[in-house]
Amino acid sequence: MIVTGLSLETLAILVGLVCVLRAFQLCLDFRRLLASIHHLPGYRTIISASSMLGRLFPPIPLLNLGHDHFWLSKHAPFAERGLDIISIATCWPKATGSLLIADINVIKDIVWSRGGRFPKPLELYTALAFFGKNIIVSEGSEWKRYRKIVAPAFSERNNRLVWDATTQIMLDLFDTMWAGQQEVVVDHSVDLTLPIALFVIGAAGFGRPISWKEDAVVPLGHQLTFKDAIHTVSQNLTLPLLVPRWVMGLTKHFRRTRLAFDELHRYLTEMIHERQGSQQEHNHDLLSSLLSANDSNDSLKDDVKLSDSELIGNIFIFLVAGHETTAHTLSFSFGLLALHPDKQEEMYQHIKRVLPDGRIPTYDDMSSLTYSSAVFNETMRMFPPASVVPKLSAEDTTFTLTDANGTMKTVVVPKGMELGLHITGLHYNPKYWEDPFVFKPERFLGDWSRDAFLPFSAGSRGCVGRKFSETEAAAVLTILISRYTISIKDEPEFAGETYEQRKARVLDARSKITLSPTRLPLVFRRRT
C-alpha cells in the first residue's frame, strides 16, 4: 500500500511538472508573439474566437471574444485604440496572432497584391469543400483555373437573364401565393427571400426554373424539397466534419441533416444528368460552363478540366453562396425600409418617376433605377455578408498608416501572421462614411468611397457573381416596392417597446455562413 501511494504521488508530481512546463512554454511563446508584432495594441485572450473551441464558448473577457464579436463591435475596437490596425493574440492551445485591418490603403495593398503575398487560409474553409473542391476553397493556379471556367457565364447576357427570371419569379409570387390578399404576413423575412434567391440562381444559373407551387411538393424519388435540402445543409455545414456518419443517426436533428446532405447530392447529380441529356441551348449560363469543363470529349480545354467531384463542389458552392448572400441582404433591406417609411416612400416615388406608366421594369431600366440599387448597397454596407475576410502574410512585411492624431505609424507583420480584413469595421469607419449607423441610401447616389465598400471583397479575388446579385436585388426591390408597402409586424408581446428597441430586435443578426437576421417579422400590404 505504501509503494502504491508513493507511485501515485510520484505520478501526480510528474503530471504537475509537465503542466507547469507546458504553461511556461505557452507563456514564452506568447511573449515572443507579442514581441514579433511590437506589442501592437488589441485583444489578448486565451482561446481564438475563430477556432472550433472558440465557437463553442460564449464571449468571456480574457477567455474568448465570441464568434459574433467582429460583427457586433463594428469600428469601436479601432476607435478605442486610435489606429485602424489592431492585434489579437491568443495563447491556447498554442500562441497565435492576427491583425484586424479597417484602413482602406492597407486593404488595397493586400487585395491587389501580386505573387501570392497574401493568400487565403484555406483550412478555415474546410466545411465548404464537403461536396468537392471549388472556387472558394482554392488558391493560386487552382483558383485561376476555376475562375477561367466560370467567369464567361457571368456576362451581360446572363445579367439580362437574371433580371427576366427575377421578374417572373416575383410576378408568380404575386399571382399565386399572394393572390387575392391585401395583406401578407411573413413571420420571418428569410422565409420569403431564401426561396426567391434560390429560384433565381436555379433559373438563371442552372436552367432549373421552379414555380412557387412546385416547390411545396416533394418530387418523386426524394424525401425533401430542393429548398429544404439546401437550407438544412447550409445551416449545418460543419456538422459532418465534427460528427462521424454513424453518429448522425442518433438524434432527429442529426438524421435530418444527414438526409439533407444525401438529398442535395442527389439533386445536384440529377441536375447534371438532366442538362447532359437536354437538347436545349444553355450556352450562356453557369452550369453549361461547368459541364463543358467536365466534358471528357472536349480536348480543347485540358488546362481547365473539372473532375466529377469538382463539378459537384462548384455547383454546390454557387448555389449556397449565390442565394444565401442575396437572400439575407434582401431580408435586411426589407427590414430597413419597414423601419424607415420615409426612405421607402422616397424609393417608391423614384420608381414612379422612372416608370410613370406603371409598366413592368426591364433590364434596360436598371441603370435608371438608382434608388433601388442604393438601398441594396446601403444594406450591404450596414450588414455585410462576412464581417472579416481572412488572409495570411506569406512574407515579413510592414504596413504604414496614420493614427487618429494624423501621425504616421508603421505596423510590423511577421511571416505567417493571420490578417483579417475587418469589413464591418471598414463599413462603419467614420473616416469614410458620415453617420455610419444611419440608414442613408442616398449616400450611394453621389460620390462615395468605393475602396471602403467591400461586401463582395475586392481585388483579383472579388466575387465573380457580384453583378448577378446586384441585378437580382434591384429587380426584387423595384417590383416589390412598386406594388406593396412593407412594415414590421405588430406582436402583442412587444407592444410596449420603443422604436430603438424594436429596431434592435428585428435587425438582430448572427453570423453563420453569412450574416443573417435572427427573426424579422414583416407585413406586406398591396398598394391601392
* pLDDT per residue as tens, the chain (528 positions): 444 555 888 888 888 888 889 888 888 999 999 999 999 999 999 887 766 666 667 788 888 888 889 999 999 999 999 999 999 999 888 889 999 999 999 999 999 998 889 999 988 888 888 889 999 999 988 999 999 998 888 989 999 999 999 999 999 999 999 999 999 999 999 999 999 999 999 899 988 888 888 777 898 899 999 989 988 998 888 888 778 888 888 899 999 999 999 999 999 999 888 888 776 665 568 888 888 888 765 554 556 678 889 999 999 999 888 889 999 999 999 999 999 999 999 999 999 999 999 999 999 999 999 999 999 999 999 999 999 999 999 999 999 999 999 999 999 999 999 999 999 999 999 999 999 999 999 999 989 999 999 999 999 889 999 999 999 999 999 999 999 999 999 999 999 999 999 999 999 999 878 999 999 999 999 998
How is the beta sheet containing 484-488 ordered, strand by strand?
183-186, 522-526, 484-488
Residue tagged 471598414 (cell numbers): 426
H/E segment holding residue 507: none
Domain boundary among 102, 127, 152: 127
Contacts of 519 (CB under 8 A, 6+ apart): 187, 188, 506, 508
Same domain, 151 and 238: yes
Distance CA 143, CA 133 (A): 10
Residue 499 lies in a domain: yes
- Classify 185 as helix, strand or coil: strand
In a shared domain, residues 494 and 518: yes
Give yes or no: residues 97 and 236 share one domain: no
Q: Is 421 among the domain residues?
A: no
Is 430 part of any domain?
no
Q: Is residue 396 part of a domain?
A: no
Q: What is the pLDDT of residue 471?
A: 97
Residues 177 and 76 in one domain: no
- The H or E element spanning position 454 is none
User: Which cell numbers hold the place of 249?
Assistant: 443517426
Best CA proximity match to 471, nearest among 275, 203, 273, 220: 203
In-domain check, residue 449: no
Residue 335 domain flag? yes
* Domain enclosing residue 275, as ranges: 140-385+455-526
Say if residue 155 is in the same domain as residue 296: yes
Considering the domain architecture, whether residues 224 and 287 belong to the same structural domain is answered as yes
Residue of 395, 463, 393, 396 whose CA lies nearest to 423: 463
Domain-located, residue 394: no
Q: Which is nearest to 387 in space by CA: 457, 291, 338?
A: 457
**Angle subtended by helix axes 252-276 and 286-294, to nearest 10:** 80
Looking at the structure, tell me whether residues 147 and 55 fall in a common domain.
no
Q: State the cell numbers at 25.
A: 512554454
Residue 182 within any structural domain of the chain = yes
Looking at the structure, do residues 69 and 163 belong to the same domain, yes or no? no
463 is in an annotated binding site: yes
Indicate whether 111 and 231 sit together in one domain.
no
pLDDT reported for residue 300: 46
- Residues 182, 65 share a domain: no
**Nearest alpha-carbon partner for 68 in 515, 518, 520, 502:** 515
Last residue of a domain, one of 72, 97, 127: 127
Q: For residues 32 and 475, give the distance between their C-alpha atoms in angstroms, rounded to a whole number.
A: 54
At residue 183, φ and ψ (nearest 5 deg) are -140, 130
Based on the fold, state whether residues 251 and 105 are members of the same structural domain: no
Q: Are residues 162 and 308 in the same domain?
A: yes
Number of compact structural domains in the chain: 2
The CATH number linked to 174 is: 1.10.630.10
User: Pick from 60, 92, 127: which residue ends a domain?
Assistant: 127
